[in-house]
A = this chain, B = another copy of it.
Amino acid sequence: MSREYKVGVLGASGAVGREVLNCLEDRGFPYSQVKALASARSAGTKLEFAGGEITVEEVTPDSFKDLDLAIFSAGAAASREYAPMAAKSGCPVVDNSSCWRMDERVPLVVPEVNARVLAQHKGIIANPNCSTIQMLVALKPIYDAVGIKRIVVSTYQAVSGTGQKAIEELAEQTRQIFNCRDIVREVYPHRIAFNCLPQIDSFTDNGYTKEEMKMVNETLKIFGDDSIRISATCVRVPVFYGHSEAIWIETARHIEPGAARELMSRSPGILVVDEPENLKYPMAIDAAGRDEVFVGRVRADISTDNGLTMWVVSDNLRKGAATNAVEIAELLIRDPELLKTNWTW
Contact = CB atoms under 8 A, between A and B. Distances in A.
Contacts of A191: 285
A233 B150 contact: no
B199 A281 contact: yes
Given A174-B178, A190-B279, A302 B237 contact: no
A10 interface: no
Interface residues of A, number: 57
A246 interface: yes
Interface stretch (A61-69, A87-95, A116-124, A304-312): A304-312
Interface string A10-35: 00000000000000000000000000
Chain A: interface secondary structure? Answer: mixed
Contact of A296 (B154, B198, B297): B198
A196 B283 contact: yes
Contacts of A277: 203
Given A198-B282, A203-B277, A239-B195, A229 B156 contact: no
A152 B240 contact: no
Given A190-B279, A244-B198, A206 B299 contact: yes
A238 interface: yes
A279 B199 contact: yes
Given A150-B303, A299-B206, A302-B216, A189 B279 contact: yes
A151 interface: yes
Contacts of A238: 194, 237-239
Contact of A239 (B194, B283, B311): B194
A207 B299 contact: yes
A257 B299 CA distance: 30
Copies of this chain, whole number: 2
A257 to B, nearest CB: 7
B195 A285 contact: yes
Interface string A308-327: 01010000000000000000
A276 B237 contact: no
Contacts of A143: none
Nearest to A216: B302
Interface string A173-207: 01100100000000001110011111100010011
Contacts of A216: 302
A231 interface: yes
Contacts of A237: 156, 196, 237-238
A70 interface: no
Interface in A225-244: 229-231, 233, 235, 237-240, 244
Given A175-B178, A248-B152, A297-B233, A239 B196 contact: yes
A140 to B, nearest CB: 19
Nearest to A231: B303
Ordered nearest first, which 3 A-B pairs have the shortest CB separation?
A207-B299, A231-B303, A154-B246
